[in-house]
Amino acid sequence: MNTLQEIIRTIQLELKDLYPFEEIQSFIYLIFSKLHGYSRVQIHQSHQREFSPSDLVQINKIIEDLKNEKPIQYILEEAHFYDLIFKVDSNVLIPRMETEELVHLVVKENDFGEEINILDIGTGSGCIAISLSRFIQESKVWAIDKYENVLAVAKENARLNHQEIKFLEHDILSDDISLGFESEMFDVMVSNPPYVCESEKKLMKKNVLNFEPAAALFVTDKNPLLFYEKICIFAKKFLKQKGAIYFEINEAFGIEVANLLKQNEFNEVVIHKDINGKDRIVRASKP
């Protein structure tokens, strides 16, 4: 195979038993967008273009990785999220569509051209913090995460997307909630913490279980709301009066997370469903 048409046909044949046709077509676009900056139109118009031996080696490696069910985002080391592009590697979760819905809700409810302070807890790739910084005018955004190697990815993403974020290394499960924030109060707090129960592993695909960081995904069945409990304590100290808190949640625990917020004296608690009709976001205000 040397022409684009032949390469595309090879990719389709090699992957047809593992992935739906539409997903393979998406892989093809992502591969040639990453390797040569092709648009979908350019792919269709360049079927007779010939590729170099080094290109073919790279493409064959991508095919083998896909056959081993490695996520395309980790293979290409980038993910598209909320009209931005983020670097991703095995240290961070691949951004999901559900999290785009979380960001969209926060933007919709807070982009009024007034200066606001936002804190993203458990930032991972930084996709939430960076998107909010980019799309909420006058926002000042802080982001925390437990791991130095995770923050390194988030900092690189902030640089790549030309956003100024204040990053801090901190474990939200720690008893220390000072963080040097004594002089800062936040108008908005947002978090997509680990929320998949260990017992749900058997329902998950290999591309998630074998490649994405377990620490960013899973909580114990004994205490599935652990992160939400700790964040509520944190928010009681650092969220302004009338400030809003937004959680992405496990669809099975919408009522439980809502009740937890009410028990911690938050009000205006609302459960939002995602595009698939599943409980996915809980939003509340501090009285």
The answer to whether 188 and 243 have CB atoms below 8 angstroms apart is yes
In a domain, residue 75? The reply is no
pLDDT at residue 253, rounded to an integer? 97
The pLDDT averaged over each successive group of 10 residues in the chain (287 residues) is: 89 96 95 89 82 91 96 96 96 96 98 93 98 95 96 98 95 78 83 96 91 95 96 93 97 98 97 97 97
Output phi, psi for 268, to 5 deg: 50, 45
Same domain, 149 and 120: yes
Same domain, 134 and 254: yes
Same domain, 64 and 108: no
Residue 66: partners with Cβ closer than 8 Å, 6 or more residues away: 14, 15, 18, 19, 27, 72, 75
Q: How far apart are CA 128 and CA 190, in angstroms?
A: 8
Whole-model pTM: value is 0.94
Same domain, 51 and 158: no
Same domain, 171 and 202: yes
In a domain, residue 82? The reply is no
- DSSP string of 150-201, one letter each residue: HHHHHHHHHHHTT--EEEEE--TTSS---TT-TT--EEEEEE----EEGGGG
Same domain, 126 and 258: yes
For residue 49, give its domain range: 4-68
Same domain, 57 and 94: no
pLDDT at residue 46, rounded to an integer? 77
In a domain, residue 77? The reply is no
The answer to whether 215 and 194 have CB atoms below 8 angstroms apart is yes
To the nearest 10°, the Cα dihedral for 25, 26, 29, 32? -100
In a domain, residue 81? The reply is no
pLDDT at residue 198, rounded to an integer? 95
Indicate the DSSP class of residue 3.
B
In a domain, residue 102? The reply is yes
- CATH number of 177's domain: 3.40.50.150
**What is the token pair recorded at 211?**
């490649």
What is the number of domains present in the chain? 2
In a domain, residue 241? The reply is yes
Same domain, 62 and 136: no
Same domain, 106 and 36: no
